[in-house]
């Protein structure tokens, strides 16, 4: 609980020391006008209900670039400007209606929208959230329209963990979780970002990617998780020479895992070669939700 206190013109928040952090307090999801967007919102809403968190929907769209040039272009822009503004306003209103309808009832929600680049707007608004739930966009996935967001660049810059889900996913099954371990800052950060979910899981398997040193690291991580009350064990290491994403998905499917936790990209040529490919695969073709941090 928090109490606002006025002190010398400044408003301070005094927190009850008995309050405990129960997990994610605010979950954000970008909204577009694609046919699968409602599923992503429902997924985020179910997660928000689990943690009694605020669900924040965000959407942005920019004006279309004029195809006309010169004086004619200026005249045409003036002529169609009002109509373009009405269309943009209508699109944002439809996005808000989709968000409110798919979010349902029984949780706190907040809506944020703006005019501009959708990715830039989401990155700005993500400061208010603990985690962002977003649907992957593969080559064969349905179009997300002008509000679509490129996940690769977003992952590198947003500064928040992304929970990337396959199209038409409605809720997160996280009783069993796979942690993809490579000794990097990104992997360590991903584990910390996923801790609220890891603590709720029935079993967590830490899978080492690479040699014996990585396997020893996975054992350390598993023991560390156990000290936090997470039911964790280390898995025999994977060979980095093979397709890592395919191996991880196979292990997850064999163990009926509903979530993969992984660091996104990496530093150094070897880590970038291994986990750069894993990140791209997860962002475009994963069949299991993936929580990734950079």
Q: How does pLDDT run across 196-205, given as a tens digit for each residue?
A: 999 999 999 9
Range of the domain at 284: 176-293
- Tell me: pLDDT of 238 over 80: no
- Tell me: pLDDT of 292 over 60: yes
Pairwise CA distance, residues 53 & 66, whole Å: 41
Pairwise CA distance, residues 147 & 37, whole Å: 11
Residues 196, 289 within the same domain: yes
What CATH number has the domain bearing residue 207? 3.40.50.620
Question: Last residue of a domain, which of 138, 165, 192?
Answer: 165
Question: Last residue of a domain, which of 119, 137, 165?
Answer: 165
Q: Is residue 170 part of a domain?
A: no
252-263 pLDDT tens trace? 989 899 999 999
Q: Is residue 241 part of a domain?
A: yes
Residues 75, 185 within the same domain: no
74-112 pLDDT tens trace? 555 665 677 888 899 999 999 999 999 999 999 999 999
Residues 63, 132 within the same domain: yes
- Calculate the average pLDDT of the chain: 84
Residues 25, 161 within the same domain: yes
Q: At what angle do helices 70-103 and 37-51 cross, to 10 degrees?
A: 50
Q: Is residue 100 part of a domain?
A: yes
Closest listed residue to residue 195, CA positions, set 152, 259, 270: 259
Q: Is residue 33 part of a domain?
A: yes
pLDDT range class, residue 10, cuts 50, 70, 90: very low
Q: Is residue 257 part of a domain?
A: yes
Question: Last residue of a domain, which of 139, 165, 191?
Answer: 165
Residues 157, 250 within the same domain: no
- Tell me: pLDDT of 167 over 90: no
Residues 25, 149 within the same domain: yes
Q: Is residue 171 part of a domain?
A: no
Q: Is residue 34 part of a domain?
A: yes
Contact (CB, 8 A) for 233 and 205? yes
B/e letters for 174-200, b = 16+ CB within 10 Å, e = fewer, are bebbbbbbbbbebbbbbbebbbbbbee
Closest listed residue to residue 30, CA positions, set 186, 140, 194, 160: 160
B/e letters for 58-95, b = 16+ CB within 10 Å, e = fewer, are bbbbeeeeeeeeeeeeeeeeeeeeeeeeeebeebbeeb
pLDDT winner (highest mean) among 46-55, 73-82, 215-224 = 46-55
Residues 143, 49 within the same domain: yes
Closest listed residue to residue 40, CA positions, set 134, 117, 127: 134
- Tell me: pLDDT of 236 over 70: yes
Residues 192, 123 within the same domain: no
Residues 128, 32 within the same domain: yes
Into how many domains does the chain fold?
2
Q: Which residues pair with 165 in a beta bridge?
A: 135
Closest listed residue to residue 289, CA positions, set 200, 192, 159, 197: 197
Q: Which residues pair with 235 in a beta bridge?
A: 207
Q: How far is CA 60 from CA 101, 146, 224, in A?
A: 18, 9, 41
Region of 176 (left: φ > 0; alpha: ψ -120 to 50; beta: rest) is beta
Q: Is residue 2 part of a domain?
A: no
Task: Say if strands 26-30 and 54-61 run parallel, antiparallel, or are unpaired.
Answer: parallel
- Tell me: pLDDT of 69 over 60: no
Residues 282, 159 within the same domain: no
Residues 159, 33 within the same domain: yes
Residues 146, 228 within the same domain: no
């Amino acid at each position: 609980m928090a109490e606002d206190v006025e002190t010398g013109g400044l408003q301070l928040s005094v927190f009850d020391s008995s309050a405990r952090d129960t997990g994610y307090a605010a979950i954000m999801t970008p909204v577009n006008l694609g046919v699968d967007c409602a599923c992503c919102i429902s997924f985020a809403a179910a997660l928000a209900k689990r943690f009694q968190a605020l669900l924040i929907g965000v959407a942005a769209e920019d004006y279309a670039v004029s195809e006309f040039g010169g004086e004619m272009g200026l005249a045409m822009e003036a002529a169609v400007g009002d109509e373009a503004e009405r269309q943009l306003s209508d699109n944002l209103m439809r996005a808000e209606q989709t968000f409110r309808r798919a979010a349902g009832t029984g949780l706190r929600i907040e809506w944020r929208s703006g005019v501009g680049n959708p990715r830039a707007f989401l990155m700005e608004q993500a400061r208010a959230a603990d985690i962002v739930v977003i649907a992957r966009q593969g080559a064969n996935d349905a179009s997300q329209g002008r509000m679509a967001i490129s996940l690769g660049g977003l992952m590198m810059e947003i500064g928040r963990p992304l929970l990337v889900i396959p199209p038409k996913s409605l809720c997160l099954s996280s009783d069993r979780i796979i942690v993809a371990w490579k000794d990097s800052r990104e992997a360590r950060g991903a584990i910390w970002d996923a801790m609220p979910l890891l603590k709720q899981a029935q079993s967590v398997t830490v899978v080492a990617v690479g040699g014996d040193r990585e396997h020893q690291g996975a054992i350390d991580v598993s023991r560390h998780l156990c000290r936090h009350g997470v039911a964790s064990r280390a898995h025999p290491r994977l060979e980095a020479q093979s397709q890592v994403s395919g191996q991880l998905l196979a292990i997850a499917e064999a163990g009926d895992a509903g979530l993969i936790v992984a660091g996104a990209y990496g530093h150094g040529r070897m880590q970038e070669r291994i986990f750069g490919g894993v990140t791209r695969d997860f962002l475009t073709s994963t069949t299991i939700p993936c929580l990734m941090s950079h």
